């Protein structure tokens, strides 16, 4: 087996949170090259995403560029199958973060399917840092929708975009 020199960290990132960034930082520690694939996820939860694919790519790029540990990570839109994206960018593995058992069950299904489609792509799982184990994009969107301050949960560029999306701060 060859060593892994390039990993993909896929996700919808609607929006990117400090939990996502934590997983990306771990990926950077274990592999010399990391690409974040921002998934189109047009039908996520039956309603689509809050931010467009282009907005999510830009928010993710800006958030990672402002962090010394992730500034060299590539961020690209992911519009097809994850395994096809990995082959297109030359990645040998996929990194996913796990917060809870429900994440594990879903990711196990995805890894099994991906293994059938592309046995050459490794699946690597990183346990969420306890500090971020509760954090999800949907929780951030809900909190922001009530006008609450989300700056402890997301980078400043994301907090600003959420404030604009939800019409400014409310009390």
- pLDDT above 70 coverage of the chain, percent: 94
Would you please indicate which residues are annotated as catalytic (active-site) residues? Answer: 20, 44, 99, 137
Q: Strands, DSSP E only, in 89-151?
A: 93-98, 122-127
Quote the pLDDT of residue 76: 98
Closest by Cα among 135, 149, 18 to 166:
149
Tell me the per-residue pLDDT of 88-113, one tens digit each, with 9 for 90 and over: 999 999 999 988 777 788 888 888 89
Q: What is the pTM of this model?
A: 0.92
**pLDDT above 60 (res 170):** no
Q: Phi/psi at 59 (nearest 5 deg)? A: -60, -40
Asked whether the bond before 15 is cis by omega within 30 degrees of 0, the reply is yes
Q: List pLDDT tens digits, range 112-162.
A: 898 999 999 999 999 989 999 889 999 999 999 999 999 999 999 999 999
Domains delineated in the chain: 6-130 (3.40.50.620)
Per-residue confidence (pLDDT) for residue 2, from 0 to 100: 78
Alpha helices in 12-81 (DSSP H): 18-30, 53-65
Q: What is the pLDDT of residue 171?
A: 44
Of residues 106 and 58, more confidence is placed in: 58
Nearest C-alpha neighbor of 31 from the set 109, 105, 89, 101? 89
Give 43-56 pLDDT, tens digit per residue. 655 678 999 999 99
């Amino acid at each position: 087996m060859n060593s892994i020199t390039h990993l993909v960290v896929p996700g919808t990132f609607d929006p990117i949170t400090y939990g996502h960034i934590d997983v990306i930082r771990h990926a950077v520690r274990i592999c010399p090259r990391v690409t974040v694939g921002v998934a189109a996820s047009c039908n996520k939860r039956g309603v689509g995403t809050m931010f467009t694919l282009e907005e999510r790519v830009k928010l993710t790029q800006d958030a990672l560029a402002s962090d010394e540990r992730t500034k060299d990570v590539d961020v690209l839109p992911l519009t097809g199958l994850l395994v096809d994206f990995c082959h297109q960018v030359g990645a040998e593995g996929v990194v996913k973060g796990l917060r809870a058992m429900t994440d594990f069950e879903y990711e196990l299904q995805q890894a099994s399917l991906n293994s059938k489609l592309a046995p050459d792509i490794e699946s690597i799982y990183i346990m969420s840092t306890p500090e971020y184990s509760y954090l999800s994009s949907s929780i951030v969107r809900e909190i922001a929708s009530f006008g609450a301050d989300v700056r402890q949960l997301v980078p400043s560029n994301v907090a600003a975009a959420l404030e604009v999306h939800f019409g400014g701060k409310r009390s």
